[in-house]
């Protein structure tokens, strides 16, 4: 949550920072701001409520000169989204400016102490405490900015990624992190700093990921220096990124979400590449091979995740239990971390996260590792905090996901989980005859099957017109597709603001059936599978009570076509992989309804792409 970006070099900093903020806007879009050190020694700070476009309009007639600056796009935690609470925040003297991503837990104590020393606070944010504290330490100790940041951070409890500039030290930016991400980009005579690599990649593919409790000293024309908060020099490990700028653009689509939905044939191809061969029934996952004994000896697997990744985890549970015959539990990371779980070194914790930065998932991992469990990550963002905090893992390799609603990451996660289940099952010899062949051949066909499902786009767009203004939706599914129902409902509610509930179809009669009337549409996920007959009865129960039914069915299903109000036909696919194909019409339905309602699908209200606060 919140995106920060910094630049020092020879280009006009404002242009680099604004471009960077646009790339980071998916992390928060309540307000935005920029602080620039001008050539004539001024610190110019401009900030406003709203999006980065609003900031640009605000800056139109302002002095935005200078080659050094920091900027921020906010997802509000402390204090409402307004101009004053927007970052950058500045010190009492007006000489220091700071941007922050994270939450300062002891800000009230620090604020009171600073107020007693005569500091005046302007905003309601936790962040302002940081900049005031750094200035207070700097002035009372008469020390350098680096030392002041280092000493001040010792007093701070919480999570932070910060960037600080000082009008008295105009050729320097200080960055620091603890539990919130910070990446430094190394260019020719220029250095970048950002919450993730997306603002940097256009200028350089050489990056350094700052670790917790490290401080980066970025000086114009000088090599990067990193020290620890206890003042020891830290290693500078330069990585080369393989991301491209085109992956960060809409590529002709009106929204990132639609682009990401349509990218899925390619992203799934990338996800299975090198893991499932063009022939044979084996799956190769290096993370499983390298940790063979861990998987062979595992007593139990616990999947921890949040949101959409948690839904993928529910599908993973069925896959792993059925194919690898290991008991699996699925926990919300936010609950798991505080549940005092009984964990041993025979437990494997699988953490699933698109961003690799979700605070609760990261904390769950740290706790699990402390208890001796082996932690395996399934992430999308290469080099992210979760990817680095886990013992081993498998990337989903679906490329940057910018739309706040997760689409291609979900299908990538389910695809990786199916490969993981098979890889473990093959290791253990628990795979039933024919299953490996069925799964691997379906995995190879997935990109093509997704292409076929995408052909539903036009008919779903028309269908969405009928349901644009309903207030509630019910989503039902069974077996592998009960989590698909949860995911379909989440997609709809987060981007269209229509209340939607996902339910196991057979559970409907234990309560939700009371809601059914002609105003409540029900989406029933009913591909051909073991429970097909049963779900037909569930559809009839809805119809008998005057509800309308949109059914996702396997092509050629005439039985459901005769009962449902609308059918969305998907191609035949092996049951364990059906959630991947089913999710295509559900994503498109949510997208088109939200668009018809005039919602901003890429930046839905109150949400942010990576949730780096509790």
* Residue 67 makes contact with ligand M6R by CB under 6 A: no
With CB under 6 A as the contact rule, the residue among 31, 127, 267, 355 that binds ligand M6R is 355
Calpha distance 336→188 (Å, rounded):
45
Give the nearer residue to ligand M6R in terms of CB position, either 319 or 613.
613
Q: Min. distance of Cβ 311 from ligand M6R in angstroms?
A: 8
Whether the Cβ atoms of residue 583 and residue 487 lie closer than 8 Å to each other: yes
> Which positions from 226 to 265 touch ligand M6R by CB under 6 A, shown as an x/- string?
----------------------------------------
By CB under 6 A, the residues from 299 to 338 that bind ligand M6R are 306-309
C-beta of 95 vs 493, nearer to ligand M6R = 493
Q: How far is the CB of 607 from ligand M6R (least distance, A)?
A: 6
Cβ distance to ligand M6R smaller for residue 203 or 410: 410
DSSP label at residue 273: T
- Which C-beta is closer to ligand M6R: that of 215 or that of 416? 416
- Which backbone phi and psi does 199 adopt, to 5 degrees? -75, -10
Given a contact cutoff of 8 angstroms between Cβ atoms, the answer to whether 209 and 193 are in contact is no
Our finding on whether 414 is near ligand M6R (CB under 6 A) is no
Cβ-proximal residue to ligand M6R, closest one:
307
Shortest separation between residue 275's beta carbon and ligand M6R, angstroms:
21
Q: What is the 3-state secondary structure (H, E, C) of 126-143?
A: CHHHHHHHHHHHHHHHCC
- Active site annotation includes 279: no
Closer by beta carbon to ligand M6R, 195 or else 354: 354
Residue linked to tokens 């076929």: 452
Q: Is 361 in the site for ligand M6R (CB under 6 A)?
A: yes
> Strands 172-178 and 191-194: what pairing?
unpaired
Minimum Å gap between C-beta 600 and ligand M6R is 14
Applying CB under 6 A, among 125, 358, 385, 484 the residue interacting with ligand M6R is 358
Tokens of 111: 């604020």
Contact 198, 16 (CB under 8 A): no
- Least spacing, CB of residue 491 vs ligand M6R, in Å: 7
Q: How is 323-360 classified by DSSP, letter by letter?
A: HH---EEEEEHHHHTTS-----TTEEEEEEESSS--HH
Binding pattern for the stretch 503-542 against ligand M6R, x by CB under 6 A and - elsewhere: ----------------------------------------
Contacts of 271-276 spanning 24+ positions with Cβ under 8 A: 271/396, 271/397, 271/398, 271/412, 271/415, 271/416, 272/415, 272/419, 272/443, 272/444, 272/446, 273/397, 275/419, 276/419, 276/440, 276/443, 276/444
Smallest distance, Å, CB 528 to ligand M6R? 28
Output the smallest distance, CB 81 to ligand M6R, in A: 19
CA atoms of 381 and 28, how far apart (whole Å): 18
Residue pair 161/194 in contact by the 8 Å Cβ criterion: no
- From the list 99-107, 295-303, 353-361, 518-526, the region that binds ligand M6R by CB under 6 A is 353-361
Q: Does 404 bind ligand M6R (CB under 6 A)?
A: yes
**Which listed residue (125, 267, 291, 353) binds ligand M6R by CB under 6 A?**
353
* All residues at 6 or more sequence positions from 293 whose CB lies less than 8 Å from its CB, including other chains: none
Which range touches ligand M6R (CB under 6 A), out of 28-36, 262-270, 454-462, 604-612?
604-612
Q: Which of 59, 498, 500, 611: binder of ligand M6R (CB under 6 A)?
A: 611
Given 405, 456, 460, 516, the residue binding ligand M6R (CB under 6 A): 405
Instruction: Identify which of 370, 317, 361 has the alpha carbon closest to the alpha carbon of residue 340.
Output: 370
Three-class secondary structure of residue 529 per DSSP: coil
3-state secondary structure of 423: helix
| 272-277, long-range: CB < 8 A, 24+ apart | 272/415, 272/419, 272/443, 272/444, 272/446, 273/397, 275/419, 276/419, 276/440, 276/443, 276/444
Nearer to ligand M6R (CB atom), residue 132 or residue 334: 334
**Residue 27 or 47 having the CB closest to ligand M6R:** 27
Indicate whether 354 belongs to the interface with ligand M6R (CB under 6 A). yes
Residue 198 found at the interface with ligand M6R (CB under 6 A): no
Site for ligand M6R (CB under 6 A): how many residues? 17
Q: Which of 2, 92, 119, 306 is catalytic?
A: 2
610 is a site residue for ligand M6R (CB under 6 A): yes
609 assigned to active site: yes
190, 263, 494, 575: which one contacts ligand M6R (CB under 6 A)?
Answer: 494
Distance of closest approach, residue 395 Cβ to ligand M6R, in angstroms? 13
* 432 DSSP assignment: P
SS3 string of 353-406?
ECCCCCHHHHHHHHHHHHCCCEEEEEECCCCCHHHHHCCEEEECCCCCCCCCCC
Q: Determine, following the binding rule CB under 6 A, whether residue 406 of this chain makes contact with ligand M6R.
A: yes
Q: Which lies closer to ligand M6R via its Cβ, residue 37 or residue 599?
A: 599
Chain residues that interact with ligand M6R, rule: CB under 6 A: 306-309, 353-355, 358, 361, 404-406, 490, 494, 607, 610-611
| Catalytic residue numbers, as ranges | 2, 609
């Amino acid at each position: 949550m919140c995106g920060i970006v910094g630049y020092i070099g020879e280009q006009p900093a404002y242009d680099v920072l604004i471009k960077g903020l646009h790339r980071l806007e998916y992390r928060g879009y309540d307000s935005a701001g920029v602080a620039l050190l001008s050539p004539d020694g001024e610190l110019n700070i401009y900030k406003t409520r709203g999006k980065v476009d609003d900031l640009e309009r605000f800056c139109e007639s302002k002095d935005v000169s200078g080659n050094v600056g920091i900027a921020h796009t906010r997802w509000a935690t402390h204090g409402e989204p307004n101009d004053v609470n927007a970052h950058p925040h500045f010190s009492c003297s007006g000489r220091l400016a700071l941007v922050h991503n994270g939450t300062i837990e002891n800000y009230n104590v620090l604020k009171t102490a600073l107020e007693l020393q005569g500091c005046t606070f302007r905003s309601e944010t936790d962040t302002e405490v940081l900049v005031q504290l750094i200035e207070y330490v700097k002035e009372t100790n008469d020390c350098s900015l680096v030392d002041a940041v280092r000493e001040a951070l010792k007093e701070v409890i919480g999570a932070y990624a910060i960037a600080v500039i000082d009008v008295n030290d105009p050729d320097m930016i200080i960055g620091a992190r603890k539990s919130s991400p910070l990446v430094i980009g190394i260019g020719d005579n220029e250095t970048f700093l950002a919450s993730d690599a997306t603002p940097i990649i256009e200028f350089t593919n050489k990056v350094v990921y700052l670790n917790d409790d490290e401080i980066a000293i970025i000086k114009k024309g000088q090599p990067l220096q990193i020290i620890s908060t206890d003042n020891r020099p830290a290693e500078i490990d330069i990585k080369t990124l393989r991301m491209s700028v085109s992956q960060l653009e809409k590529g002709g689509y009106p929204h990132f979400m639609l682009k990401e939905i349509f990218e899925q044939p390619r992203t799934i191809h990338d996800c299975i590449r090198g893991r499932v061969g063009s022939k044979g029934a084996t799956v190769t996952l290096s993370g499983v091979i390298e940790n063979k004994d861990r998987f062979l000896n595992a007593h139990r697997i616990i999947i921890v995740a949040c949101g959409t990744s948690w839904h993928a985890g529910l599908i993973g549970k069925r896959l792993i239990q059925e194919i690898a015959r290991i008991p699996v539990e699925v926990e919300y990371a936010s609950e798991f971390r505080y549940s005092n779980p009984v964990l041993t070194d025979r437990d494997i914790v699988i953490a699933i996260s698109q961003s690799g930065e979700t605070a609760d998932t990261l904390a769950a991992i740290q706790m699990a590792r402390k208890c001796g469990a082996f932690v395996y990550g399934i992430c999308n963002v290469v080099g992210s905090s979760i990817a680095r905090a886990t013992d081993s893992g498998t990337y989903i390799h679906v490329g940057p996901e910018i739309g706040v609603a997760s689409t291609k990451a979900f299908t990538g996660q389910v695809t990786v989980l199916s490969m993981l289940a098979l890889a473990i099952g093959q290791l253990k010899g628990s795979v039933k005859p024919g299953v490996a062949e069925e799964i691997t051949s379906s995995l190879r066909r997935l990109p093509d099957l997704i292409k076929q499902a995408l052909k539903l786009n036009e008919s779903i767009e028309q269908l969405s017109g009928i349901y644009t203004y309903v207030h509630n939706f019910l989503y039902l599914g069974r077996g592998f597709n009960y989590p698909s129902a949860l995911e379909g409902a989440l997609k709809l509610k987060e981007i269209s603001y229509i209340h939607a509930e996902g339910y196991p179809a057979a559970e409907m009669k234990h309560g939700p059936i009371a809601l059914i009337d002609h105003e409540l549409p029900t989406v029933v996920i009913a591909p051909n599978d073991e429970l097909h007959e049963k779900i037909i009865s569930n559809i009839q129960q809805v119809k008998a009570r005057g509800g309308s039914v949109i059914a996702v069915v396997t092509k050629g299903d005439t039985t459901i076509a005769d009962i449902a109000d609308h059918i969305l036909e998907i191609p035949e696919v092996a049951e364990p992989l059906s959630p991947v194909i089913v999710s295509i019409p559900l994503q498109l339905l949510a997208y088109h309804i939200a668009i018809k309602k005039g919602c901003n699908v890429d930046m839905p209200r109150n949400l942010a792409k990576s949730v780096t606060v509790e």
